Amino acid sequence: MTLLDFLGVNQVAAGLGRGVACIGGCVQQLFPFFGPSITEMANQPPLRAVNDPENLKSSNPAVKAAAAAAAEEDQAPQKIAALKYLARLGCAGCYPGVEEAILAGLEDCNEGVRFAAAMSVFDSTRRPCHSCRNGSCCTPKLRKKLMQMGYLPDDQTGCPREPSPRVRRAARQALLACGPDDCLEGESPPEPRTEESPEAETEGSAQPS
């Protein structure tokens, strides 16, 4: 007989073990769904982050779509930084694709990216030659898009095509900074009643993501 047997420690431990087993059996009989659910939960794989690249390979449409959307949203800061850089280059330099990049930014799903794209047109007008707008991004395609965003309502809903107030304001200011354009004859934006800054925001306006 060992000291633990003499003190009754082993007997107590064995009794506790039988008691736990008995309780587990009773729970299983009273709640047959309880035991398997715990086992299933323990066997489930760990939950991945929504933007995990592996989710793009999922056969589930919801998981795959969420992963794609999250991946695009994660790129928003990089897109904004790129648009600010392109504004310094302008659209009349030796680097192609600037106009297309800004146009894509104006059509981006992220509100912050659209704002940065509109501001890039506005900032491009501040290049050295202010009078001739040399190097600015006031191209006909961008002017037309800014006109739609800043002034025109949706044909079906009647609501503004651009839902963000600050993006609409930035689009209007970019058009005004670009000045008149014969290519948009008949579509000239109305003069604002009061001067407004593209950086200003109305109360409750959306913030960039």
Tokens representing 120?
A: 């890039």
Tokens representing 131?
A: 């009078």
Q: Note if the pTM is more than 0.75.
A: no
Highest mean pLDDT among 20-24, 93-97, 136-140, 163-167: 163-167
What average pLDDT does this structure show over 7-16?
A: 61
Task: State how far the Cα of 117 lies from the Cα of 131, in Å rounded to an integer.
Answer: 22
Domain ranges of the chain: 76-184
Burial class for 172, CB neighbours closer than 10 Å (0-12, 13-18, 19+) = buried
Q: pLDDT value at position 47?
A: 83
Closest to 197 (Cα-Cα) out of 178, 179, 180, 172? 172
Type of residue at 157: T
| Residue 62 banded pLDDT, cuts 50, 70, 90 | very high
Mutual orientation of helices 111-124 and 98-106 as an angle, nearest 10°? 140
Q: Which stretches does DSSP call E strand in 95-154?
A: none
Find all residues with CB under 8 Å of 180, minimum gap 6, and list them. Answer: 188
Range name among 51-55, 62-66, 109-113, 167-171 with the lowest pLDDT average? 51-55
Contact present, 118 and 198 (Cβ < 8 Å):
yes
pLDDT at residue 182 is higher than 90:
no
Instruction: Output the 3-class SS for 164-175.
Output: CHHHHHHHHHHH
Q: What's the pLDDT tens digit per position in 35-49?
A: 555 556 556 778 888
- Calculate the average pLDDT of the chain: 78
Looking up tokens 């651009």 gives 162
Task: State how far the Cα of 205 lies from the Cα of 209, in Å rounded to an integer.
Answer: 13
